[in-house]
């Protein structure tokens, strides 16, 4: 389970007056009036402030404003003068809503555009006067809405498994970062390699017991049961995902090895040889970390290993760039330091940290490609807004991972007095983790 | 460079009155008076409070006090009744000084004894009443004497290279944790494998420039120059080590590639493709971490990688068990969280953390074995006290690493917007890091 796109931006963010004014009928696409000179000036000014990204504007009457002193790589179509005013008033708040409503249309690679804008603004904002930072602030109340996060876990599955089946991998239905042993590997290969890599990091052996917090559609637990003969207890709060996972385990003859529990991970009890959680942490608030740490302390056998896999950041920071804030409304990725606090809290010994940031960018690229391929089906299932919202979400995440504002950490740890730890990491790399013939 | 044994315990620790009373002539070894009943009672009581370690006491008149309800694995000889009173008054403070002065003699494996005592006391102290914790407190003023640490860097080399040549590896004169690809490898193999492992983690290529903060006798820099054709700038504050390193580089025909600078690492300037520091961090205080981070930020090229290798801990804590406090008087190993703060401070991206705790225990085992082999030579060079002090130091470190109260972290990181980072860690493990035919 990864993050999901912001659902109710209006409820979450107090939009500016100019932005509110946009809440009108969808644009008709008719050629509009001539743009005023001050509107061209506004665009030029905005681009200067954003660090001159290679972006061309096409206006409602098909007039074009080229970027200053460089070749344009992307075109932003503004369908309506009101879109321009909303964008200038606060690009942080307006971009996503304009894109989703169709008042702003992107020509060019959406993921590359978001990455380019991210990097350009990140550099440029260092020179912004304070008033501009305040005007274009994202206004999210990030640290406060942590309990909202936990509630959003249930919403998470709301598009239904059918939706995700269209564009996630066909091998294990993974909505988390894959592991590309070779950059040319397919999404299916990389997702199975991720599962294998995790099993190896946990040094699984037949008969071991594993508990998984937040199991999604159960792909990891089935892999552990099928390939390692592990007995897995997998917790998910989503009823639909649990049902899906149980049906798959039955179908694959693995139900004698796996117990899917439709419950909060906090209700995990018993003792296990391994604890694993993939894609849960970024959805919890930091105020749940101590509880999670205590839970692992209780349920991990003295010689057991634990693995946490989560989106993270290089340092604690508010979600403050336009793409992240407007896209990540349901998540709170920990900084690596906050991640480590989970270990320090109970004197766990950190054995291994790996950062798979570029793998997540590639995973998202594969997802976006498939999503685009099923664009029409998805629009028919929902509507154009949902489709555009997800596209922008995936593209925005790519930008986050490529620009280094998001990281993907896998952390392995054990009780501090456990000397039965792996002597080195060589054994992780003896054989390819990617399955043959896929 | 690793830690060094406490040099002036009396100056650092306010010993208890009972302990001060010990400062008399060395024991004569003559059989003494009969022990009183209350002295036997004191020993039994002390052993109960320490969690019943499998330790037998042999008293000054050759009487023996066996441990309650278990087989003894070690014998502690008390040569003098005063040794008993000092030990009971505060084992934390007395053990080391009694051992070094010869008033307490150990029969059995010294490293195993210290590990056993560490673990026994760690468990037992949870049940101690507060007054006992206060009475047996270590009384060190750890966070305060950070500037003392930096001064101690100079003392560090004071026993002279000849002393270390006797018991460090013959291959690269490394006074830091080795890397045992196979547990049966020799110290020489493991130290060269460590150097190779570090070069691989930094993805060194011919012509790259590397700066090393705290280079010791220059073993790593020579390895980088010889095997990777790197241009290395290596800083050490020790004049003797710098002279040694320069002479070795000349002898090995590597002086055109290496510049040894006899200066503080804080005076590093210029820009480099890699930053490396092995065994420096544990000798700095935390109040130097931000400075170190800023230095790396300045001197690391945009696509460069940095590696820090240091003794660490699972969580921030005062040095509070007897062996650590009395032995580590010159060091301040960071917790993994404090380690990570160096990265967070400048938005560095943590790419890889590896914990080599058990490798350090094995390295120390090899050092202690060689040290014991040269015991007589060393005693002739210095005196019996110095020899015993180093033996206890090495044994105590083994106990620290084996019991999990000390860790060895290698952390690799880069600037946050560097996308030229290694895609995976597979390439670290393609060929053995251990040289053949050694």
Digit-coded pLDDT (tens) for B95-153: 988 999 999 999 999 999 999 998 888 888 888 888 888 777 764 444 333 333 333 33
Determine the distance in angstroms separating the CA of B158 from the nearest CA of chain A, rounded to an integer: 34
A249 Cβ neighbours under 8 A, 6+ residues apart: A218, A221, A222, A225, A255, A258, A260
> CB-based contacts of B335: which residues, under 8 Å, 6+ apart?
A344, B312, B313, B314, B315, B316, B317
Judge whether B257 and B231 are in contact, CB under 8 Å. Answer: yes
A258-262 and A272-278: which strand pairing?
unpaired
**Residue A299 pLDDT:** 98
Cα-to-chain-centroid distance, residue A168: 13
| Residue B265 buriedness (CB in 10 A; 0-12 / 13-18 / 19+) | buried
Task: Please tell me what DSSP assigns to residue B418.
Answer: -
B contacts of A419 (beta carbons < 8 Å): 358, 402, 404
Distance from A337 to chain B by nearest Cα, in Å?
6
* Angle between helical axes of B81-89 and B37-49 (0-180°, round to 10): 40
Q: Which residues of A touch B183 (CB under 8 A)?
A: 423
Q: Per-residue pLDDT for chain B (438 aa), expressed as one digit of tens each?
A: 445 565 543 333 333 333 333 333 444 445 578 999 999 999 999 999 999 999 999 999 999 999 998 999 999 999 999 999 999 988 877 898 899 999 999 999 999 999 999 888 888 888 888 888 877 776 444 433 333 333 333 334 367 899 999 999 999 999 999 999 999 999 999 999 999 999 999 999 999 999 999 999 999 999 999 999 999 999 999 999 999 999 999 999 999 999 999 999 999 999 999 999 999 999 888 899 999 999 999 999 999 999 999 999 999 875 545 455 555 556 789 999 999 999 999 999 999 999 999 999 999 999 999 999 999 999 999 999 999 999 999 998 999 999 998 999 999 999 999 999 999 999 999 999 998 877
Computed from CA positions of residues B27, B28, B29, B30, in that sequence, does the dihedral angle turn out positive or negative? Answer: negative
Contact between A167 and A371 (Cβ < 8 Å): yes
The three-class DSSP label of residue B293 is helix
The residue length of chain A stands at: 438
Q: Are A15 and A89 in contact (CB under 8 A)?
A: no
Tokens of B48: 């109960």
Instruction: Give the separation between CA B224 and CA B197, rounded to whole angstroms.
Output: 11
The reported pLDDT for the residue numbered B3 is 54
B183, B194, B404, B408: best mutation site toward chain A, by most A Cβ within 10 Å? B404
CB A376: neighbour CB atoms within 10 A?
9
- The angle at the Cα of B205, spanning B200 to B211, to the nearest 5 degrees, equals 80
Q: What are phi and psi of A306, to 5 degrees?
A: -120, 145
> Å from B174 to nearest chain A CA?
20
Residues A389, A5 contacting (CB under 8 angstroms)? yes
Domain range summary for chain B, segments of one domain joined by +: 9-140, 146-429
Q: CA-CA distance, A198 to A277, in Å (whole number)?
A: 10
- Number of inter-chain CB pairs under 8 A, A vs B: 123
- The answer to whether the CB atoms of B335 and A344 lie below 8 A apart is yes
Tell me if B18 sits within 8 A of B85, measured CB to CB: yes
What is the value of pTM for the model shown? 0.89
A 10 A CB-CB count for B349 gives: 21
d(CA B278, CA B1): 7
- Quote the Cα angle for A244-A242-A156, to 5°: 95
Q: Which residue has the tokens 């710098």?
A: B242
Q: Which pLDDT value is given to residue B248?
A: 97
Q: Which parts of chain A have pLDDT scores under 70?
A: 1-31, 138-158, 318-330
Contacts of A348 in chain B (CB under 8 A): 314
B184–chain A nearest CA distance, Å = 12
Q: Are strands B300-312 and B407-414 parallel, antiparallel or unpaired?
A: antiparallel
Q: Which residues contact B250 (CB under 8 A, 6 or more apart)?
A: none
Closest CA to B357 of B291, B405, B289, B389: B405
Phi, psi torsion values for A431, nearest 5 degrees:
-115, 155
Q: What is the pLDDT of residue A131?
A: 86
Return the pLDDT at A10. 35
> Fold identical between B9-140 and B146-429?
no
A143 CB-side CA count, 13 A:
5
Closest residue by Cα to residue B298 from B322, B328, B275: B275
CA angle A275, A277, A282 (to 5 degrees): 145
* Per-residue 3-state assignment (H helix, E strand, C coil) for A127-153: HCCHHHHHHCCCCCCHHHCHHHHHHHH
Which among B337, B348, B421 has the least Cβ separation from residue A341?
Answer: B337
Please tell me the CATH code under which domain B146-429 is placed: 3.40.50.150
CB-CB neighbors (< 8 A) of B359 in chain A: 423-424
Question: How distant, in Å, are the alpha carbons of A411, B21, B401 from that of A349?
Answer: 11, 41, 12
Question: Is residue A74 within 8 Å of A104, Cβ to Cβ?
Answer: no
Tokens 């406490």 label which residue?
A: B6
A351 — phi, psi (to 5°)? -100, -30
Any bridge partners for residue A55, and if so which? A74
Continuous H helices in A74-229? 81-89, 91-101, 110-124, 130-135, 146-156, 161-165, 187-201, 219-228
Residues 6+ apart with CB under 8 A from B314: A343, A344, A347, A348, A349, A350, A416, B335, B336, B404, B407
Dist CA A284 CA A92 (whole Å):
24
Q: Determine whether the interchain pair A404/B358 forms a contact, defined as Cβ–Cβ distance below 8 Å.
A: no
Owner of token pair 């809503």: A97
> Which of B344, B353, B430 is facing A337, going by the closest CB pair?
B344
Whether the CB-CB separation of B130 and B345 falls below 8 Å is answered with no
User: What is the C-alpha to C-alpha distance for residues B356 and B367, in angstroms, rounded to an integer?
Assistant: 17
| CA torsion angle B237 B243 B247 B249 (round to 10) | 10
Q: Which long-range contacts (CB under 8 A, 24 or more apart) does B385-392 make?
A: B385/B100, B385/B101, B386/B159, B388/B99, B388/B100, B388/B102, B389/B5, B389/B6, B389/B96, B389/B100, B390/B5, B391/B110, B392/B5, B392/B96, B392/B99, B392/B100, B392/B110, B392/B114, B392/B327
Report chain B residues whose CB lies below 8 A from the CB of A341.
337
In this prediction, residue B318 carries a pLDDT of: 58
Query: What is residue B58's three-state secondary structure?
Result: strand
Count of all residues that appear for chain B in the document: 438
Q: CATH for A9-137? A: 3.30.1050
Place of tokens 């003969």: A229
ipTM: 0.89
Of A343, A404, A419, the CB nearest to B402: A419
Q: What is the CATH number of domain B9-140?
A: 3.30.1050
Q: Are strands A231-236 and A300-312 parallel, antiparallel or unpaired?
A: unpaired
């Amino acid at each position: 389970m990864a993050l999901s796109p912001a659902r109710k931006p209006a409820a979450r963010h107090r939009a500016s007056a100019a932005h509110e004014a946009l809440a009108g009928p969808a644009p008709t696409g008719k050629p509009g009036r001539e743009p005023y000179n001050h509107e061209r000036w506004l665009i030029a000014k905005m681009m200067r402030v954003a660090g001159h990204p290679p972006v061309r504007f096409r206006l409602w009457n098909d007039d074009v404003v080229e970027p200053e002193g460089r070749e344009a790589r992307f075109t932003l179509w503004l369908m309506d003068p009101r879109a321009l005013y909303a964008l200038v008033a606060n690009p942080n708040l307006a971009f996503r809503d304009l894109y989703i409503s169709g008042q702003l249309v992107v020509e060019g690679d959406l993921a590359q555009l978001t990455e380019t804008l991210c990097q350009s603004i990140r550099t440029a904002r260092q020179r912004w006067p304070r008033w501009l930072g305040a005007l274009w602030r994202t206004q999210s109340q990030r640290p406060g809405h942590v309990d909202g996060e936990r509630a959003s876990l249930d919403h998470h599955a709301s598009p239904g498994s059918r939706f995700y089946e269209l564009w996630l991998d066909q091998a294990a239905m993974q909505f988390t970062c894959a592991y590309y042993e070779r950059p040319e590997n397919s999404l299916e290969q990389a997702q199975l390699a991720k599962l294998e890599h995790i099993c190896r990091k946990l040094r699984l052996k037949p008969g071991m017991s594993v508990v998984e917090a937040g199991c999604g559609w159960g792909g990891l637990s089935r892999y552990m049961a099928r390939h390692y003969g592990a007995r897995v207890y997998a917790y998910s709060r989503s009823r639909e995902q649990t049902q899906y996972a149980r049906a798959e385990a039955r179908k694959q003859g693995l139900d004698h090895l796996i117990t899917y529990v439709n419950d909060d991970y906090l209700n995990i009890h018993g003792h296990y040889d391994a604890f694993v959680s993939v894609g849960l942490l970024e959805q919890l608030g930091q105020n749940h970390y101590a509880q999670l740490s205590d839970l692992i302390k209780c349920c991990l056998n003295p010689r057991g290993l634990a693995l946490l896999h989560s989106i993270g950041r290089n340092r604690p920071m508010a979600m403050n760039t336009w793409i992240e804030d407007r896209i990540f409304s349901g998540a709170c990725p920990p900084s690596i330091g906050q991640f480590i606090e989970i270990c320090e809290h109970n004197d766990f010994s950190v054995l291994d940290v790996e950062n798979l940031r570029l793998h997540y960018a590639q995973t998202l690229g594969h997802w976006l490609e498939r999503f685009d391929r099923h664009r029409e089906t998805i629009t028919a299932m929902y509507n154009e807004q949902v489709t555009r919202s997800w596209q922008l979400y995936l593209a925005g995440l790519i930008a986050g991972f490529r620009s280094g504002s998001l990281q993907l950490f896998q952390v392995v740890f054990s009780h501090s007095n456990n000397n039965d730890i792996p002597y080195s990491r060589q054994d992780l790399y003896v054989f390819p983790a990617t399955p043959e013939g896929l």
